[in-house]
Amino acid sequence: MAEVTSQECWRWPESSLVNPDIDWKRGKLVTAGVDVGSVSSQAVVTVDGELFAYSSTRTGSDSPGSARKALGMALEGTGLTPDHLDYCVGTGYGRVNVPMAQRTITEIACHARGASIMYGSDVRTVLDMGGQDCKAISCDDKGKVQNFVMNDKCAAGTGRGMEVFADLIRVPVWEIGERSLQVVKEPEMISSTCVVFAKTEVVGLLEQGVPESEIMAAYCAAMAHRIKELLSRLGVMEKLAITGGIAKNTGVVRRLERELGIRTAEQAWSNPAYAKIPFDTQIAGALGAALFADALVSRGKVESGRKM
């Protein structure tokens, strides 16, 4: 068992990054997107529509604070301040609580646009596996939403469910995917849909002495199956890109691919200019928001709010 206390197992690492190839002072248009989700918050800053900086952090108990923290982390050490931003768009579950945002855009639109830039314009289905909900979006070559389905307000088959599970079996949440794939034979999946009942079922398995890796496999398989049911309502068109935190869980992704019989899009930048930048599946929403902000200002639909 990993040498960590139960409280730390769900605490996935936060990250931030600055693109060294861009000098923001030379840019004309600096925009930001802040995606405040139920579990994580991201901020992305773009300069003339190019990715400049991003951050991914855990959402705290207050949304405005999480939004400030995310943007602060992204801007750290760049000399750029929120006053330099031409425009900021808030998105995600807590979008109405982003203090620096001039307007909000639904995360459905933002994820489709962000994923289209990250994974390539040939993406036709975007699956956002977030902290507390799961959305399947079909989009066109410009990242425009064509249709979408969403699971109802429920943590089953979502990131928060995985965190609860990680805490319960005391395995860091970022290790679950790999370790769940180390089983010799696929166990029967957890049958309960509800996280609370699934927890009871997992406790039962632990008591029976079932190996940890098998329990993880059973949980990941259940999640993959649930997501497949959601996708089947929309209809999957290739290429399928997965965004959000669960996209980092290979145990769920591989099993979903097996269920659907197709491969998911490679988690790498479609734009070779970004090759040096670490790819983070969680920033799609914030990136989309920042690009919408850029488009809104450059098309003259809104005024720049730059103060410096």
Partner 1 sequence: MLANFGYRDGSGEWFIVVNTDMCDGCGECVDACPASVLDVGENEYDPLSESPMVRVKDGERNRLRYSCAPCRPGYGQSPAPCVAACEPGAISHSEGWMIVDGNT
Interface ranges with partner 1 (CB under 8 A): 105-106, 108-109, 138, 144-149, 152, 233-235, 292, 295-296, 299, 301
The CA–CA distances, whole Å, from 131 to 36, 102, 155, 158, 301 equal 11, 25, 8, 6, 32
CA nearest to 231, candidates 93, 119, 159, 135:
135
Q: Which is nearer to partner 1, 216 or 290 (CB)?
A: 290
| 33: three-class secondary structure by DSSP | strand
Q: Taking the complex as a whole, how short is the minimal distance between the CB of residue 112 and partner 1, in angstroms?
A: 8
Q: Is 146 helix (H, G, I), strand (E, B) or coil?
A: strand
- By beta-carbon proximity to partner 1, the closer residue of 107 and 163 is 107
Minimum distance, C-beta of residue 296 to partner 1, in the bound complex (Å): 7
Q: Position of tokens 């991914």?
A: 56
301: left (phi over 0), alpha (psi -120 to 50) or beta: alpha
Residue 181 or 302: the one with the smaller Cβ distance to partner 1 is 302
Which residue's CB is nearer to partner 1, number 108 or number 216?
Answer: 108
For residue 108, the minimal CB distance to partner 1 (Å) is 6
Q: At its nearest, how many Å lie between partner 1 and the CB of residue 233? A: 5
**CB 110 to partner 1: min, Å:** 9
Q: ∠ CA(133), CA(136), CA(139), 5° rounding? A: 140
Nearer to partner 1, 185 or 301 (CB): 301
Strand 15-18 to 125-129 pairing = unpaired
**Residue 111 CB: number of other CB atoms within 10 A?**
32
Smallest distance from partner 1 to CB 276, Å: 30
Which of 139/183 has CB closer to partner 1? 139
